[in-house]
Amino acid sequence: WPVYAPYVHAINRIKKERGAVILAHNYQTPEIYHCVADIVGDSLQLAREATLVEEEIIIQCGVHFMAETSKLLNMDKTILIPDQRAGCSLSESITGADVRLLKERFPGVPVVTYVNTSAEVKAETDVCCTSSNAVAVCESFESDTILCIPDEYLAMNVARQTKKKILTWKGHCEVHERFTAAELMAYREADPTLQIIGHPECHPDVIAICDYAGSTAGMINYVKDTRPSRVLLVTECSMASNVESEVPDVEFVKPCNLCPHMKRITLPKILDSLLFMTDEVTVDPAIAARARLAVERMINLKN
């Protein structure tokens, strides 16, 4: 921690001078999450918070689609991401042209798109969803069939909780697809009291073993509310590191996987971002207007 102190002090001072706010996803490293972030949360919480902040500059500590979502909702604000190469395998699995082809193939079928997508894809979408509201968003349509894209496993997990026919795409999260049911069963057999909680981007066979599945915020709340003596978070590594200091009575078992994109964001890059106003995230205004509708419809749904 002492190695981080000069960066933490400098970031917090310059952030105030500039009138900037730092939004950080739950997968950011503890020194970002605990020491410089003003607001932390899952994708839905960050999207909601982005509509409420008063500061003119938002530093988005997360991946590119999250910064784009903040931009869509705040076109007149400056949105900075400390490293614009911070991508996402789900976001990169599909393009706007792919969605147009799907709509031609399945005319009239509502398109629900996971927020882990580019603005171009969101612009082709009826409404966005996150892992915490995907079932409710799909159920909000009268249609019996829904296109829930691009995360195949999230869609399969949604399909288990609704009577609707869910069509999907072959996108996967490169972090969550690495967890296997066999791996988790071995932990379960070694300690039957172990609580296993997972993210819905995991394969349904993995989720079937979990005691709880939900968004990153849902997982954190579950641990804080239920205080299991031992818990395994089936998700990105920083989650356990971020929560464990807040629940010292809980032991975390850690067969985690790292998200290389989230890990591109570091304290030195956040400081550079504030000093040099980099990397600025921009979105074509015509695409932004259509994409914003899809995000706003999600935010306005009562869930």
Question: Which is closer to ligand 13P, CB of 43 or CB of 168?
Answer: 43
Confirm or reject binding of residue 91 to ligand 13P (CB under 6 A).
no
259 marked among binding-site residues: yes
Question: Which is closer to ligand SF4, CB of 117 or CB of 125?
Answer: 117
**At 178, phi and psi to the nearest 5?**
-80, -20
The token pair that represents 66 in the structure block = 């999250």
For residue 134, the minimal CB distance to ligand 13P (Å) is: 10
For residue 28, the minimal CB distance to ligand 13P (Å) is: 11
Q: How many chain residues bind ligand 13P (CB under 6 A)? A: 11
133 marked among binding-site residues: no
Task: Report yes or no: 162 and 135 within 8 Å, Cβ to Cβ.
Answer: yes
For residue 194, the minimal CB distance to ligand 13P (Å) is: 22
Question: Which is closer to ligand 13P, CB of 172 or CB of 271?
Answer: 172
Confirm or reject binding of residue 216 to ligand 13P (CB under 6 A).
yes
Task: Report yes or no: 105 and 139 within 8 Å, Cβ to Cβ.
Answer: no
Confirm or reject binding of residue 140 to ligand 13P (CB under 6 A).
no
| Exposure class string for 12-31: b at 16+ Cβ within 10 A, else e | eeebeebebbbbbbbbbbeb
Please state, in angstroms and rounded to a whole number, the distance separating the CA atoms of residues 179 and 196: 12
Confirm or reject binding of residue 42 to ligand 13P (CB under 6 A).
yes
Question: Which is closer to ligand SF4, CB of 255 or CB of 277?
Answer: 255
Q: 91: exposed, middle or buried (C-beta count within 10 Å: 0-12, 13-18, 19+)?
A: buried
For residue 288, the minimal CB distance to ligand SF4 (Å) is: 21
Question: Which is closer to ligand SF4, CB of 88 or CB of 207?
Answer: 88
- 13: closest CA among 278, 275, 264, 269? 275
The only residue of 173, 220, 267, 298 in contact with ligand 13P, by rule CB under 6 A: 173
The only residue of 130, 140, 238, 242 in contact with ligand 13P, by rule CB under 6 A: 130
Confirm or reject binding of residue 113 to ligand 13P (CB under 6 A).
no
Confirm or reject binding of residue 133 to ligand 13P (CB under 6 A).
no
33 marked among binding-site residues: no
Confirm or reject binding of residue 131 to ligand 13P (CB under 6 A).
yes
DSSP secondary structure, 233-274, as one string: EESBHHHHHHHHTT-TTPEEE---B--TTGGG--HHHHHHHH
Residue 198 is given by DSSP the state E
216 marked among binding-site residues: yes
Task: Report yes or no: 198 and 216 within 8 Å, Cβ to Cβ.
Answer: no
